[in-house]
Amino acid sequence: MLAMTLNAARTPLVPVQRELPVPGPGEVRLRVLACAVCRTDLHIVDGDLALPRLPLVPGHEIVGRVEALGAGVSALQPGQRVGVPWLGGTCSVCPYCRMQAENLCDQPVFTGYTRDGGFATHAVADARYCFSLEGLAMDDVSAAPLMCAGLIGWRSLKAAGDARVLGLYGFGAAAHLIAQVARAQGRTVHAFTRPGDRAAQDHARALGAAWAGGSDEQPPQRLDAAILFAPVGALVPAALAQVRKGGRVVCAGIHMSDIPTFPYSLLWQERQLVSVANLTRRDGDEFLALAREQRLDVSTTVFGLEQANEALDRLRRGALIGAAVLQP
């Protein structure tokens, strides 16, 4: 098998030939059909997140076909198409797991971070954390961004509550999907992009945003809630300044630059600042059920597996519309 491997932070991924992995008990081996490139992959490669293991194969938005079953796996079958998300395993015994908050597990396994991921021709995954893609009328490339951009977007949208006027900061892979879901729910969407990013603003309007502008601009109305997909701490006070009394700002990323000091008046009047962490399998089941019913326009740019560094660089420079997807 071929794997794009990270040997040290802030260095390019290197193509490495490896033996095919053997799935252990409760695991499956997948032939990777597509793997989307997430901003978290970029944070890992760029050293923004501590590296728990090296060498490492990144990638946690995997669409694959089951090739081999480990002992005890009965819920999946060879040949089945499945998706693998960021949360790749949990302990099932900590207090968080016991109260059905597995996204906060004390001993989590993360795909492409604490275990090798999908920037490869093959990957091993915990069968419990593989989502069946049966009945999903999407090709492999389009389905891959659903595994994180879609799932985290969905969890963030739920965290925003019943907000009817919604602001999305950072109009990339996650926002372009969740904007469509929000519009289908009857919400009004305002999209905030990098200042001057006309392409992203045009994309947002094409997907139904009522307004699109730079993150330094004023939307035409107060927001009930805002979701921050951009990992820029300075956007927290900017978003708080745009939400109404009792409104909510949801931080959706795993990593964010430091939040600058801001006056208490921005938070006063019962405005809320919350974060979302990882996902639960229930989130995955809910979102994939929605994706089976609602047609989602998934914008992708496809790269060959050995073009992983180019894909990461394009994401780093903000030179993508939608999601980058690697296809072996």
CATH for 123: 3.90.180.10
pLDDT of residue 213: 98
Residues 225, 317 share a domain: no
What is d(CA 113, CA 36) in angstroms, rounded to the nearest whole number?
Answer: 15
Residues 105, 53 share a domain: yes
Give percent of the chain with pLDDT exceeding 90. Answer: 99
Of 104, 229, 43, nearest in space to 154 by CA: 229
pLDDT band at 118 (very low <50, low <70, confident <90, very high): very high
Measured CA to CA in angstroms, residue 321 lies from 197, 205, 243, 299 at distances of 11, 13, 27, 7
Residues 92, 27 share a domain: yes
Residues 155, 125 share a domain: no
What are residue 68's DSSP bridge partners?
Answer: 29
- pLDDT of 41-87, one tens digit each? 999 999 999 988 899 999 999 999 999 999 999 999 999 999 999 99
- pLDDT of 128-176, one tens digit each? 999 999 999 999 999 999 999 999 999 999 999 999 999 999 999 999 9
Burial group, residue 26, by CB count within 10 angstroms (0-12, 13-18, 19+):
middle
pLDDT of residue 271: 98
Element spanning 274, H or E: strand 272-275
Residue 99, domain extent:
2-147+278-327
pLDDT of residue 4: 98
Residues 197, 130 share a domain: no
- pLDDT of 24-54, one tens digit each? 999 999 999 999 999 999 999 999 999 888 9
CATH for 224: 3.40.50.720
Query: How far from each other are the two terminal CA atoms of the chain, in whole angstroms?
Result: 10
What is d(CA 170, CA 204) in angstroms, rounded to the nearest whole number?
Answer: 10
- pLDDT of 218-228, one tens digit each? 999 999 999 99
Residues 301, 230 share a domain: no
Residues 157, 143 share a domain: no
**Three-state SS for 225?**
strand
- Answer yes or no: are the C-beta atoms of 188 and 167 closer than 8 Å: no
Residues 308, 221 share a domain: no
Residues 311, 209 share a domain: no
pLDDT of residue 211: 98
Total count of domains within the chain:
2
Taking the model in full, what pTM does it have?
Answer: 0.95
What is d(CA 66, CA 61) in angstroms, rounded to the nearest whole number?
Answer: 15
- pLDDT of 227-275, one tens digit each? 999 999 999 999 999 999 999 999 999 999 999 999 999 999 999 999 9
Residues 111, 22 share a domain: yes
